Structure 1
Amino acid sequence: MNRVVSAARLHTVGGQSISVPWSVLASALAVNFLIFGTIQAGDGIDEDPTTGGLLALYIATAVVFIQAMNKPLSFALGFGLTRRTYLFGTGLFALAISFGSAVVLYALYGLERASGGWWMSLSFFGALGLGEGNPVVAVLGYAAPMMALAALGALAGGIHARWGLVGVYTSVIVALIAGGAFCVVMFSAHAWTPLGRWIADQPSSALFAGYPWIVTAVAGAGAYAVVRRVAA
């Protein structure tokens, strides 16, 4: 267990794995303040603005875990850590950063709500209703999508570490073919409308705090299977 914790701590060296995603988020928030502040100072807008700028943090976190499966992995193996230990340590770090970020995001949502949307009715941290309802469910709603993207990032990084760009391009092509086949089947079965209704009927707690864990489990298992066979 101590070696797993040591592997997790490797990701905190230099602090970039934490500081970079939050710097990206801060930049996105500043841009939104500038844009919507300018609009409010001018003619204003009829409805309360909602922005998807929060996605910047999640995308940047995915990139962190893509990188974690390359040079940091080689560094860890060079110091005698096994691939299994490194993967479990990376998973522990993903849990820590996801839930730590979720608590901070929920607190920022509280400030956003208390300030009337940063004094401009802006919904940034409360977009898609992630911060509403039970605090525990809300924190899970922030954390689960981040875990899913971290797992997907680890899988993508593992594919690159094992097969290089050929593996990345091949996986993209396979994903596109699979997506196209899925669309063909859905159109043929006239199933898009029922699917849309099913999604619309799902509570936000299920969409954001529940289903992403399925993605995390599948992508995490894939990353584990791929990275365990990466050459040292």
Structure 2
Amino acid sequence: MSTTVARPASPAAVVALQYANPSRMVSIPLAILVAAVVVTSGIVVALSAHGGDGALESNGAVVWSIVGFVVAIGVQAVAVTFPLALALGATRRTFTAGVLLTAVLESALLTAAALALLGLERVTGGWFVGARVLGDTTLGGGDALALVAVMSLLSLSALTAGAVFGAAWIRFGARGPLVLGLALSAAAVVALLVLAPAFGEAGRVFEPWWLAVAAGVVVAASTVGTAALLRGATVR
């Protein structure tokens, strides 16, 4: 008599579970990008009508509108899905890997959408009113490669950072994200105080690849933190 041992769910299965909610993972993020275009274009029209500068070279509309929701996606990717994933056979390790893979795919989706919108923005001359939304200087000033780099690194960092806060909630309840947030804020303040004297020199020698390194550190630290927190978490 042979015994069949069920195989743990793979990271790909965890990704499929995440995208079982297409509204959260696809529809709403894309709608936010489109809304940023509409709102910014409306602001340009309003400024132009009152004699203001309609160009809005650097407004950060996409960055500020999408980052908060992307962090929320990361939180929900862990807090909402973890119990169900384990019930369906995922191990904590495969779940963490699946969350990271989800972050990579979601980042690719948002980056591809932003790139497509940049193309439309160029074709329409700034959405017919001279608006620079995807061509904003915070997103590379219209450079497609820069946009890809900024959007992919920004969204990947935000998603994985949200995941570690979701893991803190799973592990410690409501006080977990609170304590984690306070600890990170305190660490950021101390770092700013220590590094403040070097800001002037750093600004003179700054290289864009520093941001890529910083994003890599955030992704790696968040993934390790998520795995560590989930290792001792109780499924509720």
What's the TM-score, normalizing by structure 2? 0.84
* Structure 1 residue 133: Cα displacement: 4.4
Question: 2:157 is matched with which residue: 148, 158, 161?
Answer: 148
How has the CA–CA distance of structure 1 residues 19 and 159 changed in structure 2, closer, same or farther, with 3 Å as cutoff? same
Contact 2:75/2:164, CA 8 A, preserved across alignment: yes
Identify the residue that residue 202 of structure 1 maps to in structure 2: 207
* Paired residue total: 225
Contact 2:74/2:160, CA 8 A, preserved across alignment: yes
* Structure 1 residue 129: Cα displacement: 4.2
Question: 2:35 is matched with which residue: 9, 27, 35?
Answer: 27
1:189-214: CA deviations, max 9, x gaps?
x223223333xx313xx255554122
Question: 1:221 is matched with which residue: 208, 224, 229?
Answer: 224
Percent of residue pairs identical: 24
Q: Provide structure 1 residue ranges, at least 5 long, that are not aligned to the other structure.
A: none
How has the CA–CA distance of structure 1 residues 86 and 167 changed in structure 2, closer, same or farther, with 3 Å as cutoff? same
| Partner secondary structure for residue 86 of structure 1 | helix
Identify the residue that residue 45 of structure 1 maps to in structure 2: 53
Mean Cα displacement is larger for which, 22-31 or 99-108?
22-31
Contact 1:142/1:208, CA 8 A, preserved across alignment: no
Amino acid at match of 2:119: G
* Structure 1 residue 14: Cα displacement: 2.8
Identify the residue that residue 20 of structure 2 maps to in structure 1: 13
Contact 1:62/1:152, CA 8 A, preserved across alignment: yes
Note if 1:112 corresponds to 2:121.
Answer: yes
Q: Provide structure 2 residue ranges, at least 5 long, that are not aligned to the other structure.
A: 1-7
Measure, in 2, the Cα distance between the counterparts of 1:27 and 1:207: 31
Amino acid at match of 1:215: V
Contact 2:78/2:167, CA 8 A, preserved across alignment: yes
Measure, in 2, the Cα distance between the counterparts of 1:36 and 1:195: 34
Measure, in 2, the Cα distance between the counterparts of 1:131 and 1:228: 43
Measure, in 1, the Cα distance between the counterparts of 2:20 and 2:231: 23
Amino acid at match of 1:9: A
